[in-house]
Each structure stands twice: as C-alpha cells, then as structure tokens.
Structure 1
C-alpha cells in the first residue's frame, strides 16, 4: 500500500512540474524597462566605455527626436532635387516622415521627371542615404507613365498617395 501511495505522489509531482513548465513556455516575458539611458562598462585598459541601453523606457521617443527632419532639411532636399533636371513631381514618404509602419509604404521617394540626369541622381541618392543612415527606396517615372498609372488607379501609386506622404515638388497640380 505504501508503495502505491508513493507512486501516486511521484506521478502527481511530475504532472505538476510539467504543468509549471508549460505555463512558463506559454507566458511571454514582459520587456523590462529601465530608467538608465546609458550603461557604463569599463574596458580592460581602464578607459570607460558607454553603450546605449535599448531597454530604456523612452528609447523610441529619443529615436524620434534624433531622426526628426526639420523644414530646413526638406528645403535642402528640394534644392538638390531641382538641380537634377526637370522634375514634375517629388514625393517623400517612409523614412523621411519617421512613421512607425515604414514597411507598408512602397517607396521612400518618388520622382516624376522626363529629363533626369542619372549621374547627378546617383550622387543625390548617396547624400540621402548618408543623411538617413540607411538604404533609401526610390522610384523614378516619366510623366506619361505616372499619369497613366494614376488614371488606372494603380495599387502602387494609390497606396503611396493615400498613406502619409509629403509633396516637395508638385508641378502636376496633384492634390
């Protein structure tokens, strides 16, 4: 009799342990937010090293503040765009507007032009990538192609124009 009771207790203990381990697997750990922005770590040579704490509770706000583009930067982009050729329309979105859902935006910059200097555009693109700190997605269209796609309610153009965007150059009278 005692052996049966012992066996039942053992089975019960293992069942409880299994339940606890399953609960641990199901429950998602909460991200811990800390109050320190910078973590200091001494290096072996005695020099202090600093590292940004990605668990800082206001890290997103800090990132937005650092990446927020000013009107002066947009004027600089517009001036550089006008030097590339006869641009009819220039729309910026995505990385230039610092929105959260950048993957839903089809492109970062759309340029409609019939006469665009590709060499100058290549330099301009390198400038933009240096300013944003990453890759810039771009689309270049001729005026006829853009007006055709706009009249056909093309998905790419529609998603770009319905989403958050800003027109830097608008010589087509687009609203």
Structure 2
C-alpha cells in the first residue's frame, strides 16, 4: 500500500483504511517489536503494537506524513518499541534484558577451551617428565622450564656437562615417545 492509496481509502472510509493498513503491516510491526521486546510478556508486546498503530493512524489522519509508508511504519515501530523498553525498564528497577538487541554482548576475554587444553597438556607433560625418573626429570625441567645450560645443570647435579647433554638428549627422545603414546603429536619439545 502506498501513501496515495491510503489517503484515497482514508477519504472514503477511515475505518477501512485503518483495517487495510493494520492487515498489511501487522506482521512487519510485530517482527520489529518482538526483536526489541522478546523478553517481555505477550501482553506487553501487543500493547506496544497497539500504541504503534494508534500513532500511525493519528499521523495519517493529521496528514503529517507524505513519504514511503513502510519506512514510516518501520521507524515508528522501532522508536516506539525502544521507548516501551525504556519505560518498562525504568519502572522495573532498571532491569536489563540480555535478549534485547540494544544490550551489548557480555564477553569474557578468556579462551576457556584453549586454557583447558593448555592445562591438560601441562599436566600430561609433567606426568611424563616425572615418569622419566631422576636425574632425567630434573635435567629436563631445568633445561626447558628454567632455561639453564648443561654447565649450570651439571654444577647443581654434580655431573659433567657432557653427561648432562647425553642424558638430556636421551630423556627428550624418551619423553617424545611417552607423549606420542598418550596421543600428543611432535612439536611439543
């Protein structure tokens, strides 16, 4: 329905013009209102729709609009539903409904799945390192966790640096096998 058609029908019979407008745009208005007020009761939504059509009919009877009807109806529906939301929120102790489009998304900066994978991998890795036994587990921890060189490790464990390098190499190979047996791919060490 165009503005001209509505004006023509309005001049013949205002009731028929209102009924035709309501029938044609009811679902459109309801979709707009429902997207804004989906957490409200059905009665609140219907009340808002009634208020929207009352405003539309009043505007057309005054002749205060001469543009595209669908754009006008969409604008009135959007603004009225926002006003209804604000009024209802103010009266309800400033409640915020998370389903409303105007409410910002609440997101955490954490990657929970990624953090759980890291924790699981760390736990499995520590279990495998501890299963190597002494002094291999101490050598691996000092080498890779504390970033110590073989001379420093040898000084702490009373070993020769060459013996630390050989044991570290063998322990790393054994650790890779243990991790592969638990289903972890290479590239961890």
* Coarse TM-score class (shorter-chain normalised): under 0.3
TM-score normalised per structure 1: 0.24
TM-score normalised per structure 2: 0.22
Using CA pairs under 8 Å that are at least 6 residues apart, name the structure with larger relative contact order, 1 or 2.
1
Q: Which has the higher helix share?
A: 2
Q: Which has the higher strand share?
A: 1
